[in-house]
Chain A
């Protein structure tokens, strides 16, 4: 059957792709999407450990991670809208001042 290490490896690959995208992407929405990808990778390792250790607490933690991710998406996207209103751009290189 599937060894635990395979799930952890997949989780690692997804997390590293998320970090890479976070670093090289310049569009603020794509950067946000990469953060979601990293959260998903961590959730996968939570669930894999939960099944392997036969402990359900980790799945409750995944629930909490999802709640925090949803809250973060709502607030973050609102901030993106506010930034776009004042600067008319989504490129993070152009957003280099906290105040206009």
Chain B
């Protein structure tokens, strides 16, 4: 019961943050709304027993990535977004396709709900750091090393791209 109440509270916070993200016209407000969404998602991960994912959600996403976003917003002095009214395609094709997407998703969820749907109960902690580490450094060792190369390339790419044009 407590799980359900907590789920509804934080799901509501999550959706409110996401709607606010779309409603705000200044990018800094959108970025701060996204931090709210990420924080409440971290609580939902804890409810699901994913300790490690909740921790890195806060540390990497809400910490590192969003700080990067906010720094760029401040660096570029981004103001209120202006609508030039030239993007008809987004409105006339985009909105109907989003509606279709929502309809399909709701349909498949309802279809799924009619079949067997055992609930997620409170379970022993599943995603502890130890368990994840065993997987990450055992079965997924090669992908892990490849991501380190990816990160290295991303760092070099960011430095090269953001550098002032050489004289």
B155-A67 in contact (CB<8A)? no
Question: Which among A1, A5, A19 is the interface contact of B122 at CB below 8 angstroms?
Answer: A1
Q: Across the interface, do B109 and A23 meet the contact criterion of CB distance under 8 Å? A: no
Listed in ascending order, the chain A residues whose CB lies under 8 Å from chain B are 1-10, 12-14, 16-21, 23-27, 29-30, 32-34, 36-37, 40, 43-44, 47-48, 50-52, 54, 56-57, 59-60, 62-64, 66-75, 77-82, 84-85, 90-91, 93-94
**Cβ–Cβ contact B22 & A17, under 8 A:** yes
Bound together, the chains give a CA A4 to CA B112 distance in angstroms of 10
Choose from B61, B64, B126, B157 the contact partner of A56 (Cβ within 8 Å).
Answer: B126
Q: Mark B51-81, 1 if CB is under 8 A from A, else 0.
A: 0110011001100110011001101101001
A30 touches which of B11, B27, B160 (Cβ 8 Å): B27
A14: min CB distance to chain B, Å = 6
Cβ-defined partner of B3 (8 Å) among A1, A25, A37, A91: A1
> Contact at B22–A21, with CB atoms within 8 Å?
yes
* B interface residues, tally (CB under 8 Å): 86
Question: Could you tell me the distance in whole angstroms from the C-beta of A32 to the nearest C-beta in chain B?
Answer: 7
Q: Judging by beta carbons under 8 Å apart, are B76 and A81 in contact?
A: yes
B38, A40: Cβ atoms under 8 Å? yes
Task: Give the interface of B toward A (CB within 8 A).
Answer: 3-4, 7, 11, 14-15, 18-19, 21-22, 27, 30-31, 34, 37-38, 41, 44-45, 47-50, 52-53, 56-57, 60-61, 64-65, 68-69, 72-73, 75-76, 78, 81-84, 86-87, 90-91, 94-95, 98, 101-102, 105-106, 109, 112-113, 117-123, 126-127, 131-132, 135-136, 139-140, 143, 147, 150-151, 153-155, 157-162, 164-165
What residues of chain B lie closer than 8 Å to A26, measured between beta carbons?
81-84, 87
Contacts of A47 in B (CB 8 A): 44-45, 48, 50, 53, 127
**In the complex, chain A residues whose CB is within 8 Å of the CB of B127:** 47, 50-51, 56, 59
The residue on B at minimum CB distance from A26 is: B81
Q: Are B69 and A32 in contact, CB atoms less than 8 angstroms apart?
A: yes
Contact A21 to B21, CB < 8 A, known contacts A51-B123, A74-B158: yes
Q: Which residues on B sit within 8 Å (CB–CB) of A71?
A: 150-151, 153-154
